[in-house]
Structures are given as C-alpha cells and as structure tokens.
C-alpha cells in the first residue's frame, strides 16, 4: 500500500511537471508570436529565424537612433548659431567696424586687421565684449593718409567675404 501511494505521488508530481512544462512552452510560444508581430517580415519564420531577425532589427533600430541623435544635436547647434552682424561707420578719416557674432564663430581676428590695413586704414583701438554666447568686436581705425582716405568700398566688400 505504501508503494501504491509513492507511485501515485510520483505520477502526480510528474503530471504536475508536465503541466508546468506545457504552460512554459505555451508562454514561450506566445512571447515568440508577439516578437514576430513586432519585426518587419513578409513570411512565416521559425522560432530561431524570428529570434535572429529580431536581433538584427533591434541592432538596426539602435544604429538608426544613434544616427538621429547625432543629426538632432547638429541641428540644435545650427539653430543656436545666430548670423554675424557687421556695421561699418565712416566719419571723415575714421572708420569703425562693429561685429556681433556667436562665440563659436571661427574667424581669425588678425585677418580683419589685415583687411583694414590693406584698405589704407591704421587701427587705433580694438574692443571686445563677451555677452553670453555672443561676442561683440569694435575696431576703430583712421586713414593712414587723410588726403587719400580709406578705401571703404573695398574694405567693406572684403570684410563681408571674410565674415558673412
């Protein structure tokens, strides 16, 4: 009688294990079906093919996300880049150049000085102000020879080419 109880208990636990295993397989099948519905595929795939395709698709999505994040960062940088503003004031033999540009604007300030000197102007004073993400330059110059004056049209054209 003890043997009958132990064999009945053994078959009962085996049946329970079989039921648990059947539930596990059904659960896995449902999860694989859900995964298959999330990946782009036009044909019916086996479980290993679904897992392989899902892995490739996730990798593709990650690379796409990284690419979009880089693009977004570049677009944000471009959005914050404000245009350079240049104002040239002429008063007799003096010429004043005022520039307002972003702090990330890359140009060589000595090139501005060179343009003024090529235009027959001598630099008298240079002032620079930093205001947040903007930089303001003010360059005051005068004609080297007051009878000849400064070649303002040429200076203005060259500065626009260099800065704007």
Helices 152-163 and 109-118: angle between axes, nearest 10 degrees: 160
Contacts of 44 (CB under 8 A, 6+ apart): none
pLDDT at 8: 63
Give the phi and the psi of residue 162 in degrees, each rounded to 5.
Answer: -75, -40
Q: What is the pTM of this model?
A: 0.47
> CB neighbours (10 Å) of residue 7?
10
pLDDT at 70: 86
Contact 124, 91 (CB under 8 A): no
Residue ranges, the chain, pLDDT below 70: 1-10, 77-82, 104-107, 146-150, 164
């Amino acid at each position: 009688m003890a043997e009958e109880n132990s064999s009945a208990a053994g078959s009962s636990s085996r049946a329970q294990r079989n039921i648990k295993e059947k539930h596990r397989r059904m659960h896995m099948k449902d999860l694989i079906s859900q995964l298959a519905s999330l990946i782009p595929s036009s044909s019916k795939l086996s479980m290993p093919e679904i897992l392989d395709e899902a892995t490739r698709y996730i990798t593709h999505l990650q690379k796409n996300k990284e690419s979009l994040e880089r693009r977004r960062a570049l677009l944000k940088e471009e959005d914050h880049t404000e245009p350079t503003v240049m104002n040239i004031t002429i008063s007799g033999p003096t010429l004043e150049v005022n520039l307002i540009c972003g702090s990330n604007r890359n140009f060589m300030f000595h090139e501005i000085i060179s343009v003024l000197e090529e235009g027959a102007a001598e630099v008298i004073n240079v002032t620079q102000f930093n205001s947040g993400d903007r930089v303001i330059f003010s360059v005051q110059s005068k004609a080297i020879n007051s009878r000849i004056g400064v070649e303002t049209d040429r200076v203005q054209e060259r500065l626009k080419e260099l800065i704007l």
